[in-house]
Every structure is written in C-alpha cells, then in structure tokens.
Amino acid sequence: MGTVRQNIFGDIIALNRDTHLRSSGMILMVGEPQLMQTLKKHFPERSGVFFIEFADLSREILTAISPDSVVAPAISAHFDCLELAAFLSSADYKGLFRVIAKDLPRPEIVRTEVRQHYPHLDFDIIIPARPVPRNAKVMH
C-alpha cells in the first residue's frame, strides 16, 4: 500500500495530473529534487513536471502520475539508470525514458546496455551541450 509519505504524494499527484492533463504532457523527474529543479526550464512551460527521489518512487506513485516521460541522471549518488530501468520495466512503463549523461566519457555504452537489458523501454540519452565561455571568440 505504501508509506504515508507515498500516499500523500499520490493525492498531490492526482490533483497535479488533472491540472496538467490537457497540457504538453506529464514529466516525472527522478533524482535529487534540488538538482533536477534546475532542468525544469528546458521543458515546455505547459508540461506538468513532478520531482521525486528514487527512494520514494513506487509502482503506485508511477501509476498515479502516469507520466509521458521519465527523466533522470544516468548516474547519481543514490541510484543509476539501470536500477531505474529495472523498476520501470517491472512496472510495465510505456512512456519515454530519458537520462541525462553529463560528463560520461562513452554514453553509447550506457545506451547499449540499457537497451539490451530492457528492449521494450523507449530509452535514450540526453547529452547536454557544453556552454561556450563568455570570452570565447566565435569563428565564422
């Protein structure tokens, strides 16, 4: 049935989902909410975005949110994308699963491994563009 914290999440999610149902979709961002919050600006304004830590994620919460997309870091201090992929697979998740691969030397290895273990997941990697220093000269 879940913890009290999870049940409270479920009530909030249901209200949030209804509010954003007619929008550009619901995005579930899994990871440390403070770090993931900085990414919100990169998604459509009309998207519903819900932040949750991996340890708080349950099948019930995933069902309540019913996200169109799940976004998470490839590797964090508390979980990695293979663990999240295993959870999503066991919950029979059908939406998009995207991970942010910041500073991974060979992200294609992660992409191949997740797709090999969980071929039914719509999985891919987002590689953030590196910012150009302000004092860099642009060559034309």
pLDDT of 24: 63
Confirm if 87 and 94 have CB atoms less than 8 A apart.
Answer: no
List pLDDT tens digits, range 2-26.
Answer: 444 444 444 555 555 455 455 568 9
The two three-digit tokens of residue 121, written as one number: 């997941």
The domain spans of the chain are: 4-126
Look up the pTM and report it.
0.75
Q: What is the pLDDT of residue 1?
A: 39
Tell me what pLDDT residue 82 has.
Answer: 98
Structure confidence by residue, pLDDT tens digits, 46-102? 668 889 999 999 999 999 999 999 999 999 999 999 999 999 999 999 999 999 998
Higher-scoring residue by pLDDT: 45, 28? 28
Q: State residue 4 phi and psi, 5-degree precision.
A: -60, -40
Q: In this structure, are residues 31 and 59 in contact, taking their beta carbons and an 8 Å threshold? A: no
Residues 6+ apart with CB under 8 A from 9: 52, 56, 61, 64
Mean pLDDT within 18-40 = 72
Three-state secondary structure call for residue 48: strand
**Is 80 exceeded by the pLDDT of residue 36?**
no
- Domain 4-126 class, CATH top level: alpha beta
Q: pLDDT at residue 119 above 60?
A: yes
Confirm if 65 and 30 have CB atoms less than 8 A apart.
no
Q: What's the pLDDT band for 31 if we cut at 50, 70, 90?
A: very high
CA distance 119 to 134: 42
Residue closest to 101 by CA, chosen among 130, 75, 132: 75
pLDDT of residue 111: 97
